[in-house]
Structure 1
Amino acid sequence: MRQVVLDTETTGIDPKQGHRIIEIGCVELIDRKLTGNHYHVYINPDRVVEEEAISVHGITNEFLEDKSRFAQIADDFFAFVDGSELVIHNAAFDVGFINHEFSLLNPKRQVIESNCGVLDTLAMAREKHPGQKNNLDALCKRYGIDNGHRTLHGALLDAEILADVYLLLSGGQSAFELDANSASGGQVGDIRRLDRSSGQSLLVCSAQSDEIEAHNLYMEKLQKSSGKTLW
């Protein structure tokens, strides 16, 4: 399964008032694993970025002057997300802006949902943690994700953080395939056993104290996210 964790930054909060996308950041997940493949672009919106928006993301009008217009990046962006499931925090906001941008190029073009699934992590968080704060910063704190380097919003940085949040929010680590017939476990015949007559002995490597501490911290994250751990 291919998923694209996506975030945008904009000139304001409402595309119906003429606001535009100025940054898109995406990271790719395949089978719930980060692949390292990403998409990131800044966009000249051909309009002024509101001061209130600048205070959130720090992207100035001067910085955007020499950047590409949406029309110039639209095909590459669509090719990156086409056919994937988009994972977005407060999806209605970002999807609304994306559809607005494409409609400016072609009013008859289908909405992005016609080509992509959409999963809203804000809705997931509200269902799992009702009555609590569920913005990205609150979820990072709840799941023990370090976001100390996030002094301002940024589409790519927020997409990377959201990927970590999503994986924990949706159940943490994937199930271990320890069964002998699993793809990763191999067949029973592939299991190697030591011949006692060979004189070989097993090498036992004990975990160091810092490794044990790191393991315990990670298990605490899993416990918080799923409510149970196997060991």
Structure 2
Amino acid sequence: MTDRQIFLDTETTGLYPDSGDRLVEFAGLEMSNRQLTGNSLHLYVHPERDMPEEAARVHGLTIAVLEEKNAPPFAEVGREIADFLRGAELIIHNAKFDVGFLNMEFTRMGLPTIEELGCTVTDTLAMARDMFPGQKASLDALCNRFSVDRSKRVLHGALIDCELLGEVYLAMTRQQFDLMGGAEEEVEKTGKPAAVAETKRSAHLKVIKADAEESAAHEAYLDALGDDCVWRKEEAEA
């Protein structure tokens, strides 16, 4: 399995790639070992058709705006996008939509589809519905749930949505997130850590030690926190 992951989002002229709608913006942010690598691709694309008013109200991209940005047609940037995505795990919110548009655009050019590029796809919408059944699973709702600041998201935009998705995905996949949150709630209620407040319950907990890969991911996360890492300070004082 590849350790190269890409947070991906697109904006389009509408909802239906098989009925004449086209892609107008692409963004991808690369991550490896739960750290953004700095490698990214962000492109505006001229759809070579009109822009419906309802679509422009969502993302703010009119044909005039795209022409001001000298946005090229997809035929001029499709290969660059395909090369950027090749072999990566794509992390997308509502993946069916974005993959459908990319595959349509690639097929128009005679380029390989997402599947043929050797990509795997992780849909955070499906993840959220599994984690929080019956609750809202939009990107905005998940930002609220995980306290991700979305104040800069005035309009939908592929790049800002990728950045927000990255933060949400890391929160969703941080294995100790719920356990730590539960412990904090226990402290507020009893004034004691959960382990002290209910020793009988803790006696029945099954302890599963981290494997080598999980330990390495944990150390990499602590490294990213730098000198302010409380965990490392406590270890040094122990």
Q: Which residue of 2 aligns with 1:130?
A: 133
Q: Are 1:44 and 1:67, in contact at CA under 8 Å, matched by a contact in 2?
A: yes
**What does residue range 152-231 of structure 1 map to in structure 2 within 5 Å?**
152-171=155-174
Q: Which residue of 2 aligns with 1:52?
A: 54
The alpha-carbon deviation at position 170 of structure 1 amounts to 1.6
Q: Are 1:167 and 1:173, in contact at CA under 8 Å, matched by a contact in 2?
A: no
Aligned-partner Cα distance in 2 for 1:99–1:3: 19
2:92 is the counterpart of 1:88: yes
The alpha-carbon deviation at position 171 of structure 1 amounts to 2.1
The alpha-carbon deviation at position 173 of structure 1 amounts to 7.5
The alpha-carbon deviation at position 74 of structure 1 amounts to 1.1
* Structure with greater helix share of residues: 2
| Equivalent residue pairs, number | 185
Q: What is the DSSP-based 3-state SS (H/G/I as helix, E as strand, rest coil) of the residue aligned with 1:112?
A: coil
Structure 1 residues 70-111: Cα deviation after superposition (integer angstroms, max 9, x where no partner)? 1111111111111100000000000000000011112xx542
Correspondence for 1:146 among 128, 144, 149: 149
Aligned-partner Cα distance in 2 for 1:137–1:184: 27
Q: What's the % identity of the aligned pairs?
A: 48
TM-score (norm 1): 0.73
Q: Which residue of 1 aligns with 2:124?
A: 121
Q: What is the DSSP-based 3-state SS (H/G/I as helix, E as strand, rest coil) of the residue aligned with 1:87?
A: strand
TM-score (norm 2): 0.71
Aligned-partner Cα distance in 1 for 2:10–2:129: 21
Correspondence for 1:78 among 82, 89, 98: 82
Structure 1 residues 94-143: Cα deviation after superposition (integer angstroms, max 9, x where no partner)? 0000000011112xx54212220000000000000010111010000000
Change (3 A) 1:124 1:184: closer
Q: Are 1:2 and 1:29, in contact at CA under 8 Å, matched by a contact in 2?
A: yes
Q: Which residue of 1 aligns with 2:17?
A: 15
Q: What is the DSSP-based 3-state SS (H/G/I as helix, E as strand, rest coil) of the residue aligned with 2:99?
A: helix
Change (3 A) 1:145 1:60: same
Task: State which structure, 1 or 2, has the greater radius of gyration over its C-alpha atoms.
Answer: 1
List gaps (5 residues or longer) in structure 2: 178-209, 220-227, 232-238
Q: Are 1:43 and 1:70, in contact at CA under 8 Å, matched by a contact in 2?
A: yes
Q: Which residue of 1 aligns with 2:182?
A: none
Q: Which residue of 2 aligns with 1:112?
A: 114
